[in-house]
Amino acid sequence: MRVLIVDDEPLARSRLSRLLSQLNDYQVVGEAENGRQALQLCAELNPDLVFLDIEMPGADGLSVAAELGHNQPPPAVIFVTAHPQHALAAYQVAPAGYLLKPIGLESLQQCLQRLGVSTRVHLEKQKIALPRLSFRVGIEQRSILLNELYFLQAEDKYVRLVYQGGEALTETSLKQFADKFPQHLLRVHRNTLVLAERVVAISRSADGLHLVQLRDCTEQPEISRRELAQVRAILQSG
């Protein structure tokens, strides 16, 4: 985890850096002595975690934390202060933790263990763990996160793959996709699979065809009579 230390006291920065060096998975990538430097280094270094002193010249730690909260996703912020009376104000900007000086190794470890799951590092780990859908376009191998998919539709010798941000024609067969993700893909037609979690409703076209509505997708693939009951069952089950 990439760490930025922000404190106007050099000795305090040095002490915290030494403590972090005793722990695995934490790399101090920068130090700042005021709020302005902190915001600049956050933009340049993209840290996952910021240790932030509250009382500093110029912009204090509270205003810096509020500014960092606009990042998507924001770095985790742990406030560091010698003044416990700041605790209530600090928690109004939703920090990941709060440490009182002088910091000890045990209190630091306990605080780090309580880091929230919404930090950048946790989100990246979550993203890596999500299933991916791989497909071939010519000689090129591509992949997307499975939850980015809208639907797959067989067209002549190819399968049209429609997903968030675009579409592609692949030689990977519909059956190969269906066999690999049987719990995620729902057949709505002999030539169409949709991502089951995106199914939100059934509509009717002007000529009486049943169509499946998919969350965030403007296209509505046709539902065959054979598969209509299954799609309705998915909707009824929530």
**Looking at per-residue confidence, does 89 or 147 come out higher?**
147
What integer is the mean pLDDT of 7-16? 94
Q: What is the pLDDT of residues 24-73, one digit of tens each?
A: 889 999 999 998 999 999 999 989 899 999 888 777 788 888 888 777 77
**Whole-number average pLDDT of the chain:** 86
Contact 74, 29 (CB under 8 A): no
Q: What is the pLDDT of residue 120?
A: 56
Q: What is the pLDDT of residue 117?
A: 45
CA distance 109 to 122: 17
Return the DSSP state at 93.
Answer: T
CA distance 100 to 111: 11
Tell which residue, 40, 11, 9, 41, has the closest CA to residue 28.
Answer: 41
The token duo for 27 is 């790399």
Helix segments in the chain, DSSP class H: 10-21, 35-45, 61-68, 87-91, 105-113, 120-129, 174-180, 225-237
Tell which residue, 106, 81, 80, 86, has the closest CA to residue 23.
Answer: 106
Q: What angle do CA 36, 37, 43 make, to 5 degrees?
A: 95
Q: What is the pLDDT of residues 69-95, one digit of tens each?
A: 777 778 888 988 887 655 545 555 556
Q: Domains in the chain and their CATH numbers?
A: 2-126 (3.40.50.2300), 132-237 (2.40.50.1020)
Q: Is-above-0.75 flag for pTM?
A: no
* Largest Cα–Cα separation, the chain: 76
CA distance 225 to 113: 54
Cα separations (Å) of 8 from 38, 44, 66, 69?
A: 11, 20, 19, 21
Specify whether the backbone of 131 is left (phi greater than 0), alpha (psi in -120 to 50) or beta. Answer: beta
b/e code 173-196 from CB counts within 10 Å (16+ = b):
ebeebeeebeebbbbbbebbbbbe
